[in-house]
Structure 1
Amino acid sequence: MTDSTTLGADRALKTKHRAMWALGDYPAVATEIIPELGTALVAECGVRPGDRVLDVAAGSGNAAIPAALAGATVTASDLTPELFEAGRRDAAAAGADLDWQEGDAENLPYDDESFDVVLSCVGVMFAPHHRAAADELVRVTRVGGRIGLLSWTPAGFIGQMFATMKPYAPPPPPGAQPPPLWGDEEHVRALLGDRVTDVSARTVSLRVDGFATGEEFRDFFKAAYGPTIAVYRAIADDPDRVAALDRDLADLARRHDLGGGAMDWEYLLLTARRAT
């Protein structure tokens, strides 16, 4: 494959990813289902007043807004700027001031060592080329600066949701890696390598109790979550497969039900310092 062909394929893939995350209502997922995650990541990174912070794949600002409220100078960067409108509204309501900029996690539009803290809350994990994204995270962090990542684990609920949807989804393009690998500590350590030090990693569970039934969970994600919407669109002309995926997603939620609709969604919380 020639360089021009590779570049064209990458642009097409990024266009597809941008469109996918603009589907549905991801800000509702961020604010109604997982609002605690951004605050947890900001606290883990020790964001302080005056820090220059970059939130990569920021979405509608789940982590960027808490970082700004902590007194940092924050840039929220995302491939899908359609999410910024909701983010700006949330930031204004919270009294947070930050910059919103379109940017590709695999080719960030910032100079080397531009930020004291570079973080991503269930965001960079969806960049298809993990090595390229990790290289960018390190590149834009100053030496001695902090990198913080919060990612769904492969074995946790969201990782299993992606595994459940995989048989129904079109095959990924060559070279694309599964998002939940970012929730595997050894995978992330290998991506960052000896360019970081002081790595701290632990798995944590988020208690989610917003869905009374498996069907309620499924229907919310069918309507609001871009990756789920995209899978359903891919099989829309096959009612049997749609019905099967409907059953599989509802069954997944039922298997994780701890009682009364409560579930624990596991994620990896990893921080490190740039060494070189």
Structure 2
Amino acid sequence: MNTTTTDLQAEADRALKAKHRVVWALGDYSAVAREVIPELGRVLVAESGVGPGDRVLDVAAGTGNASIEAARAGASVVASDLTPELLEIGRKDAARQGVELAFEEADAEALPYADDSFDAVLSCVGVMFAPHHEVAAGELTRVVRPGGRLALINWTPEGFVGQLFAIMKQFVPAPPAGVQPPPLWGDEQHVRDLLGDRVNDLTMERRRLAVDRFASGAEFRDFFRDFYGPTAAAYRAVGDDEQRRSELDDALAALGEKHLDGGTMPWEYLLVTARGK
């Protein structure tokens, strides 16, 4: 049997998704969601207008930062993510808080849900990490019903997290051809190109999250090295190369120091809202 280009691409995609699962299972993302960015889930749910009776899908939900807030608002929620380890943490967090919702393993680029299934589709710094942006955008808009709400929060390329990824890019292997950088989802023109003809009432607004968790750049670096999957993966990539590890250490600490202002770091994100078409 001949191996076709399509077969090779499918195999490459499977390998890439397996790698993404490993990366996001590193560290403890729930610590990041709980200690650094908890406000984002509340903002996303408020801006989406999610409430009682709504059927909601959270795409690339991680440990449920937005999902749990949507369920707390009275919605019927499905939290979907590629990484089962994150979903298991989310289940335990939701149970501990007395909040009921479903956690389901799903690929943001091949959602296992019917067209027009949800009143609202959310993603809180999640879907931006799907490697093929056009495909992911198609899935987001496919599963939201006409007139339903789409609401996303994505880190911007110019903001703190965008700069973090620009640094880490220098220490990890190059991604496969066709994979797009996550922070592009924080660029207004890119989002307009992805969603413009698939949605109605598209709005975008840059905002800043005031992060007061870290007293120094070194403290930020150490926390993200230990708990944030992509940063842990960058350290794993440099391995025992002491010079490269020192360069990564210095670059991350310097980034944190540069952005500290009176004990607070402003992390810029793009809030995207739209209506299903």
**Aligned equivalent of 1:263:** 265
- Quote how far apart the aligned CAs of 1:274 are: 1.2
Q: Distance in 2 between matches of 1:18 and 1:5?
A: 20
Alignment of 1:1-276 (within 5 A): 2-260=5-263, 262-275=264-277
| Cα deviations by residue, 1:248-269 (Å, 9 ceiling, x for unpaired) | 0000011101023x10100000
Secondary structure, aligned partner of 1:168: coil
Secondary structure, aligned partner of 2:85: helix
Q: Distance in 2 between matches of 1:244 and 1:178?
A: 22
Q: Could you list the runs of 5+ residues in structure 2 that have no partner in the other structure? A: none
Q: Distance in 1 between matches of 2:211 and 2:225?
A: 17
How many pairs align?
274
Residue 224 of structure 1 aligns to which amino acid in structure 2?
Answer: F
- Quote how far apart the aligned CAs of 1:6 are: 0.6
Whether contact under 8 Å (1:52, 1:72) holds in the other structure is: yes
- Quote how far apart the aligned CAs of 1:205 are: 0.5
| Cα deviations by residue, 1:174-217 (Å, 9 ceiling, x for unpaired) | 10000000011111111012121111211111111111111110
Q: Distance in 2 between matches of 1:223 and 1:86?
A: 17
Q: Distance in 2 between matches of 1:184 and 1:87?
A: 29
Q: Distance in 1 between matches of 2:67 and 2:229?
A: 21
Q: Distance in 1 between matches of 2:241 and 2:210?
A: 34
| Cα deviations by residue, 1:87-112 (Å, 9 ceiling, x for unpaired) | 11221232211001000000001011
| Cα deviations by residue, 1:112-135 (Å, 9 ceiling, x for unpaired) | 111010010000000000000000
- Quote how far apart the aligned CAs of 1:2 are: 1.1
| CA RMSD in angstroms, aligned pairs only | 0.9
Secondary structure, aligned partner of 1:259: coil
- Quote how far apart the aligned CAs of 1:136 are: 0.2
- Quote how far apart the aligned CAs of 1:167 are: 1.1
TM-score, length basis structure 2: 0.97
| Cα deviations by residue, 1:21-41 (Å, 9 ceiling, x for unpaired) | 000000110011100101100
Instruction: Report the identity percentage.
Output: 65
Residue 264 of structure 1 aligns to which amino acid in structure 2?
Answer: P
Q: Distance in 2 between matches of 1:12 and 1:164?
A: 24
Secondary structure, aligned partner of 1:194: coil
Secondary structure, aligned partner of 1:96: coil
Whether contact under 8 Å (2:87, 2:105) holds in the other structure is: no
Q: Distance in 1 between matches of 2:133 and 2:77?
A: 24
Secondary structure, aligned partner of 2:100: coil
| Cα deviations by residue, 1:31-89 (Å, 9 ceiling, x for unpaired) | 11100101100100000110010000000000000000111000000000111222112
- Quote how far apart the aligned CAs of 1:218 are: 0.2
Secondary structure, aligned partner of 2:266: strand
Runs of 4+ in 1 over 4 A off after TM superposition: none
